[in-house]
Amino acid sequence: MKEDKKIIVELLIDVEDRENGLDIISFVSDPAIQSNFQYFSKQKKKVEFKATDNEKRIVTGPAMIPNQEIIRLDAQDKPYFVFFTPETVEKCQESFAKFGKTKSTNLEHSESNLTDTTVVESWIVNDSENDKSNSLGFDVPKGTWMISYKVDNDEVWEKVKNGEALGFSIEGMFSEKIIQMSVEQNENEDAYETIKAIVSNDSLSEDEMFDKLSEIASKLK
């Protein structure tokens, strides 16, 4: 029987490579669907950050969540999935601090770095129930990288207060380890045809397209 494949790509970093790996954490409203490996925030069930100290202007949220399959489209508009293992998430946290990138921040993945935004806390969740993240109202799995920024930048703080900036999105270059999982084509061929129809529908907004793709992808095996 002819088979199709669900393509799963594990993203990796070299903690000794200053030029690659995690580069910047961006304050974002809702990043567009990307066809490369650069931006990873927009999820159907995304976890947004929160202003955890208004007086001190501190916002906290997850920078990376492990083992979360994120849908992407290749050049032929066929879906594949990327994810980070808990080990890679921890390496990203380590290299981010090691190479002094805690002030590497921007808005909506723009080319200009922000000033007056600084990481004041960074930790890996080891026990979801007893972790500080839980006490702050986050429901994230073990291995999640949590981060807090002190925002002295007035423009960014206004966007946080007004609900224009809702979460963090990482930006970087990662190596790939491709994992192919075979499935019978007749189980998924209808889904793939539906996906092609969605991505070719110019009347859909990016948010509408992403929601429809995520719903279909969640049913693929």
Segment 10-40, tens digit of pLDDT: 888 877 777 667 778 888 876 332 322 233 3
Q: Is residue 154 part of a domain?
A: yes
Q: Please give the Cα distance from 28 to 168 (Å, whole number).
A: 6
Q: Please give the Cα distance from 128 to 142 (Å, whole number).
A: 6
Q: Is residue 218 part of a domain?
A: no
Q: Is residue 138 part of a domain?
A: yes
Domain span at residue 69 reads: 3-183
Task: Determine the pLDDT at residue 3.
Answer: 47
Task: Determine the pLDDT at residue 184.
Answer: 43
Q: Is residue 195 part of a domain?
A: no
Split into its structural domains, the chain has a count of 1
Task: Determine the pLDDT at residue 77.
Answer: 67
Q: Is residue 101 part of a domain?
A: yes
Q: Is residue 147 part of a domain?
A: yes
Task: Determine the pLDDT at residue 199.
Answer: 67
Task: Determine the pLDDT at residue 207.
Answer: 63
Task: Determine the pLDDT at residue 40.
Answer: 38
Task: Determine the pLDDT at residue 32.
Answer: 33
For the chain, list residues with pLDDT below 70: 1-5, 19-20, 30-48, 73-77, 176-193, 195-196, 199, 206-207, 210-211, 213-221
